[in-house]
């Protein structure tokens, strides 16, 4: 056995168990395996409950990824920690939402990102119908994506659809139009577009 072969076997001996161990520690995989065992034992109620829990864990991971797309506070502003929530379909159309609030003196901007929600379909219809869109505001390109900007009396809202999967909304109060659009442009829209 050559020296290179010995080194390769040693690396496999050390690395493979740690890879298997890290996969076993993933709570989603553990919960799905538990559900599978419960299903095989005809414990259907607990199997369904375990799968629901696994789905919730997956949505939490997705929510954490969404939260990372929200920008840091711009100079002179403060931001809360941000949060992500999963809403049941029966409530407000359901879906996964990540949001963060930014403040500067009396100025407030709240940014929300929604996915996996039927609400996105109705917004897409508005984006594709110029009559509805014009009543909601005016079209503006924001980092290459179509947005509807409704700004008046030092406040308003901005809506952006990303790849027909994500709805980004900004709501502002006591803000300048420049600050409002600066926050819209600070969102990682391209990063959102490639999220799984």
User: In this predicted model, what pLDDT tens digit does every residue of 57-71 receive, in sequence order?
Assistant: 887 888 788 888 899
Q: What's domain 73-193's architecture?
A: 3-Layer(aba) Sandwich (3.40)
pLDDT score, position 83? 77
pLDDT tens digits, one per residue of 143-187: 999 899 999 989 999 999 999 889 999 999 999 999 999 999 999
Percent of the chain as helix, strand, coil, to the nearest 5: 45, 30, 25
- Delimit the domains of the chain by residue range: 3-64, 73-193
pLDDT score, position 122? 77
**134 Cβ contact partners less than 8 Å away, ≥ 6 residues apart:** none
Average pLDDT across the chain, whole number: 81
Distance CA(34)–CA(111), nearest Å, equals 38
pLDDT tens digits, one per residue of 15-46: 444 444 544 578 888 989 888 899 999 998 98
Dihedral sign computed on CA atoms, order 149, 162, 80, 186: negative
CA distances, 66 to each of 47, 98, 176 (Å)? 29, 6, 26
The model's pTM: 0.74
173 exposed, middle or buried (CB, 10 Å; 0-12, 13-18, 19+)?
Answer: middle
Closest CA to 119 of 85, 169, 69, 156: 169
Distance CA(93)–CA(102), nearest Å, equals 26
Confidence of residue 90 (pLDDT cuts 50, 70, 90): very low
pLDDT score, position 1? 54
Angle between helices 27-40 and 3-25 (to 10 degrees): 70
């Amino acid at each position: 056995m050559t020296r290179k072969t010995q080194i390769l076997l040693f690396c496999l001996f050390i690395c493979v168990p740690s890879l298997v161990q890290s996969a076993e520690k993933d709570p989603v995989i553990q919960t799905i395996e538990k559900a599978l065992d419960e299903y095989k034992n005809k414990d259907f109620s607990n199997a369904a409950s375990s799968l629901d829990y696994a789905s919730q864990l997956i949505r939490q991971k997705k929510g954490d990824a969404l939260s990372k797309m929200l920008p840091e506070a711009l100079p002179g502003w403060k931001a809360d920690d941000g949060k992500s929530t999963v809403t049941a379909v029966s409530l407000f159309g359901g879906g996964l939402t990540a949001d963060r609030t930014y403040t500067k003196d009396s100025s407030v901007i709240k940014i929300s990102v929604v996915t996996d929600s039927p609400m996105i379909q109705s917004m897409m219809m508005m984006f594709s119908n110029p009559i509805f869109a014009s009543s909601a505001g005016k079209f503006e390109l924001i980092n290459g994506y179509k947005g509807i900007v409704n700004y008046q009396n030092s406040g308003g809202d901005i809506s952006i659809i990303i790849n027909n999967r994500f709805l980004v909304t900004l709501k502002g109060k006591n803000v300048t139009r420049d600050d409002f659009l600066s926050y819209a442009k600070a969102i990682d829209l391209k990063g959102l577009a490639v999220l799984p």
